[in-house]
Structure 1
Amino acid sequence: MDKPESSRARRPVHPYLVLVAGALLPGAGQVINRMPTRALIMMFFMLSLGFVTVQLAAPGRSFIGRNAGGIFVYAISVMDAYFIARYRWEAFRVRAVG
């Protein structure tokens, strides 16, 4: 017999979709993972560290060099969203099998 809809766990979003969304748009991976506060925090630190490195970078540095702080947090944000989605996906899969 099927379980009632309220007791059934909601299937998480596939981790690859979260990875692509997070890579294309900063903070989107966290929003898809239903963590909008975390997305705002990541955006704040991306902008803050990006601003700091722009101010402190030596003249003549490349775009990547001038914005290294923001790009670093952006990369951490993408990995964070993917790992959380992967964890939820695997936990759901294990619960469904066992």
Structure 2
Amino acid sequence: MPELRRPPHPWLVLLVAIVLPGCGQVMNRQPQRGLVFVFFILLLGTLTLLTADPSVSVVGKLAGGVFVYAMAILDAYRTARLRREIWRREI
């Protein structure tokens, strides 16, 4: 039986995903997925920034990017938890 590589701890993945968008996916060995998240964070953040009313708060002006950023964080953590649980069951 081949030796299984221990996946990173989900809390570490969560911390990295919060600090660096898309890097949580990279830690989960899904670099393309991380790149897609970063692309859509930038795309939707720019679109909402350009189309938002000037009186809207900064968070409102970047709402599209903030939403995708939050989804990227949740995705990275959930994937890390699943990978860790699968690893624990296989050892």
- CA-CA distance at 1:94 after TM superposition: 1.4
**1:21 aligned partner:** 16
Unaligned runs of 5+ in 2: none
- CA-CA distance at 1:88 after TM superposition: 0.4
Aligned residues between the structures: 91
Report runs of 4+ in structure 1 exceeding 3 Å deviation. Answer: none
2:59 is equivalent to residue 64 of structure 1: yes
- CA-CA distance at 1:34 after TM superposition: 1.2
Q: Give the fraction of aligned pairs with identical amino acids, expressed as a percent.
A: 48
Structure with bigger gyration radius: 1
Provide the TM-score with structure 2 as the length reference: 0.95
Unaligned runs of 5+ in 1: none
2:35 is equivalent to residue 48 of structure 1: no
